[in-house]
Amino acid sequence: MHTVTLNNGVEMPVLGFGVYQIPPEQTEQAVSDALAAGYRSLDTAAAYGNEEAVGRAIKSSGIPRQDLFVTTKLWISDAGEDKAKRAFDTSLRKLGLDQLDLYLIHQPYGDVYGSWRAMEGLHHQGLVRAIGVSNFHPDRLVDLIDHNEVTPAVNQVETHPFHQRTTDQELMRERGVQIESWGPFAKGRNNLFTHPVLSRIAAAHGKSVAQVVLRWLVQRAVVVIPKSVRSERMAENLDVFDFELTADQMAAITALDTGESLFFDHRDPAMVSRLGNVTLSA
Ligand code: NAP
């Protein structure tokens, strides 16, 4: 598996498997299929409600722990130093692990600084190999970096052909933060899978649009975690390391950027309030 080296020397697979919106009762099978297909990096979150199922699939796979890279995320209702430590223990127990590879602050809301102090502590204790954030705009990211000890290793943000985050990525690169894409296919919005520009490039390589999108992200040094519940798509999405997009093809995709989210604006006060009121069931 191709990897990137995070700012603390930890190696992270450049391509992993995301499990958002896979119902808990389907997750064990989906993760088992993904591991059988060759995925070694898994991305879940406390808020997805499927950490236990991910843990069962890991256990039954028999894959040595050191060959896996497991990410989960801290939800807003668990923000704060003490609550974050407890939430981490709960996630670790649900996953059936004694160490996590990457722990992310899921959303830039609530007592982010208390959460970060807890995560720095967990990192120093060796309970998590790398800590990072998600959905942080550059201003929030820089503030966190400048007033804390540990620089986030990763910032997981919406990144796809219609919202490319090029300037944000440059800022992250300067600050030593690895960009990770969520929603690499924009969940199919804007007719991504039949988009004429992407389809033309795919035909030129004998690849699918999904493969072109993942290849474009990987060539931009963006970590990707596509989600699928279908085995044939899991395999397809892994098979992106045997071709290369030309500069012209990269430029044609660059031209698709709208510079805006297709989902929601993390700076919209209504969204901040709505997400901040979502609590997790036990
Ligand atoms: P996505 O990966 O952009 O899109 C998933 C959709 O694409 C599913 O409907 C899937 O359908 C379909 N698909 C997958 N491979 C395909 C292929 N080769 N051809 C055609 N269709 C294909 O969306 P996402 O799941 O939202 O994002 C990926 C991961 O990012 C998540 O699972 C999660 O781990 C993470 N994420 C994080 C955040 C955050 O706030 N940090 C937010 C959203 C997501 P099937 O399953 O039916 O194949």
CATH code of the domain in which 157 resides: 3.20.20.100
* Centre of ligand 1 from the C-alpha of residue 149, in Å: 33
Low-confidence ranges of the chain (pLDDT < 50): none
Does 205 map to a domain? Answer: yes
**Domain hosting residue 223, numbered range:** 3-275
Does 282 map to a domain? Answer: no
Question: Distance between CA 29 and CA 70 in Å, rounded?
Answer: 17
Structural domains of the chain, count: 1
Residue entry with tokens 């944000």: 168
Question: Distance between CA 109 and CA 250 in Å, rounded?
Answer: 34
12-65 confidence digits (pLDDT tens) = 999 999 999 999 999 999 999 999 999 999 999 999 999 999 999 999 999 999
What are the CA-CA distances from residue 281 to residues 78, 100, 179, 278 (Å)?
12, 22, 30, 10
* Centre of ligand 1 from the C-alpha of residue 182, in Å: 8
Which of 9, 10, 4 is CA-nearest to residue 66?
Answer: 10
Q: What is the pTM of this model?
A: 0.98
Which of 114, 123, 171 is CA-nearest to residue 147?
Answer: 114
What pLDDT is attached to residue 1? 80
- Region for 20 from its dihedrals, namely left if φ exceeds 0, alpha if ψ lies in -120 to 50, beta otherwise: beta
48 is catalytic: yes
What pLDDT is attached to residue 282? 66
Instruction: Return the CA Rg of the chain.
Output: 18
Does 206 map to a domain? Answer: yes
- The three-class DSSP label of residue 268 is coil
- Ligand 1 site, residue 50, Cβ cutoff 6 A: no
What pLDDT is attached to residue 280? 87
Does 280 map to a domain? Answer: no
Atom of ligand 1 nearest to the CA of 104: 41
Characterize 63-90 residue by residue with b for buried, 16 or more Cβ atoms within 10 angstroms of its Cβ, and e for exposed: eeeeebbbbbbbbbbbbbbebbbebbee
Does 281 map to a domain? Answer: no
Does 181 map to a domain? Answer: yes
- Ligand 1 site, residue 109, Cβ cutoff 6 A: no
Does 57 map to a domain? Answer: yes
What pLDDT is attached to residue 281? 75
